[in-house]
A and B are shown apart, each in its own frame.
Chain A
């Protein structure tokens, strides 16, 4: 569905590439998460893929359409939820949706909701009901909470039934219940419509649900794969142990040929299947035993940390 080949962007007057020769593929229907610290190039990449920014070099296609040569065709098949809210606060919720629908050529222009075709009214009511904001459709945007605004942006972005939905940190600034509701809804949409979801986020637990994760830093891909693969490839499991008699423990670890580091507590590098046997073999009385099973967050911090060094 999405194909990137050596995609590069260098902003005017910048001394390094914001996106630096990135290549990968995203399959149709996939939930793809792009992770990276601030300034890693995530929003730049979304801007390029949604055709609002030209790449300096490299190519990208979405559903076979080149993002530069066929920008208009690409815009018709993608939806985007921006990092910063993109609703017009001077309009009502419905006007925001209506103007989107007309800009996408879905319906002819009409100056009021009542004059819009019945098909439009049904579609907008259906989507709004699904998100629980049908009663608020005619109210001014200013009266909407942050969570409701995000929901409306989703309603709007789905009006033209996009094949790919880009979500640029969509839950930033939302409280936990709003974030959860939003994800439940997005999961339903994805299951029912088969929409490809391309997400950038700072919330790692959101990325853990993804089919594929791509971690970028300073414009380069530093890790790519399933969440499990990223965890297993890049962060080692270990057991943290300590004893009052650290010298004796150090000698014992050496004698047992258990690889370790640190001067106490000691990191003993064993995988989860061999932890029990390793601990059983140690005679020195231990004052600390802590297993380290890396979460995706650990993997992320470790990967980004290594790159920054």
Chain B
């Protein structure tokens, strides 16, 4: 029976199983569902709407749409990144001990986690999209279809960033300590709520280093396609930067994670 299954088939099955588990965990955790959806809705509903009503007339663009696209990208990117980093916490408890002693490769654990957290981010993507429609953010069917692959790329990119962070940390406590320094500055350097075209030179450098910036810009490339020139880089440029960083994060992060796992 079983043992005749090819190794690669087993690894694919393991990746699917790990992803399946993450999705089940989300669907059965009501508190998490509420908190996952609450923050983006607060950002868009309160911040986006109030910015538009306060400064919308003096601005060239609709600030609700601007904040909406920024929060949409940030939520997906951050959800996957934090989900992957949660492997640290998982490692210290429950089922993940079991995952780490199973014969699957450490690479499959990483891929399974990224896939699972991307699936977890997808319901958030749909909910934010629906909320945007309620608030009057304009969409065409083509735009919605185009946003789906963009969301997927952003999710996987966030996951790769999570792997890089994961490889540098020993435990969840460290993750909690560095979280404000890694994530919060990116909220502002990535231009989720604020334009970043005219930053002082030192903030401009930091902004260009912040990976979340390219996720947000990619989302705006797709949303504003054929419309106002809100995005900073065009779609091919953002895709190229994301691709290079994705490979870099995955290679350095996974190698570091696998090494750190065994050489504690």
Contact = CB atoms under 8 A, between A and B. Distances in A.
Nearest to B94: A88
A100 B100 CA distance: 11
A87 interface: yes
B230 interface: no
A164 B262 CA distance: 21
A100 B21 CA distance: 11
B13 A86 contact: no
Contacts of A119: 1-2
B5 interface: yes
A295 to B, nearest CB: 34
Interface stretch (B22-30, B171-179, B215-223): B22-30
B31 to A, nearest CB: 12
Given A52-B261, A99-B17, A109-B13, A86 B103 contact: no
Contacts of A12: 263-264
B47 interface: no
A54 interface: yes
A75 B95 contact: no
A80 B10 CA distance: 20
B102 A100 contact: yes
B57 interface: no
B3 interface: yes
Contacts of B263: 12, 54
Interface string A96-122: 100110111111110100000101000
B97 A105 contact: no
Contacts of A38: none
A69 interface: no
A85 interface: yes
Contacts of A72: 103, 105
B98 A86 contact: yes
A204 interface: no
A87 B20 contact: no
Given A54-B262, A105-B7, A85 B102 contact: no
Interface in A1-21: 11-12
B97 A108 contact: no
Among B1, B94, B96: residue with most chain A CB under 10 A = B94
Contacts of B101: 50-52, 75, 78, 80
Contacts of B97: 82, 84, 86
Main secondary structure, interface of A, reads loop
Contacts of A75: 101-103
A270 interface: no
Contacts of A109: 12-13, 16-17, 20
Interface string B206-240: 00000000000000000000000000000000000
Contacts of B262: 51-54
A103 B104 contact: yes
A87 B97 CA distance: 9
Nearest to B95: A88
B82 to A, nearest CB: 17
Given A103-B102, A119-B1, A87 B7 contact: no
Given A105-B7, A109-B12, 13 more contacts: A51-B262, A80-B101, A88-B95, A90-B25, A100-B98, A102-B13, A103-B99, A105-B14, A106-B3, A107-B1, A108-B9, A108-B13, A119-B1
Interface of B: 1-3, 5, 7, 9-10, 12-14, 16-17, 20-21, 24-25, 28-29, 93-105, 261-264
28 contacts: A53-B264, A72-B105, A75-B101, A75-B102, A78-B101, A82-B97, A82-B98, A86-B96, A86-B97, A86-B98, A88-B94, A89-B94, A90-B29, A99-B95, A100-B102, A102-B17, A103-B98, A103-B99, A103-B102, A104-B102, A105-B7, A105-B10, A105-B14, A107-B1, A107-B5, A108-B13, A111-B20, A117-B1
Nearest 6 Cβ contacts at the A-B interface:
A105-B10, A88-B95, A109-B13, A106-B2, A75-B103, A103-B102
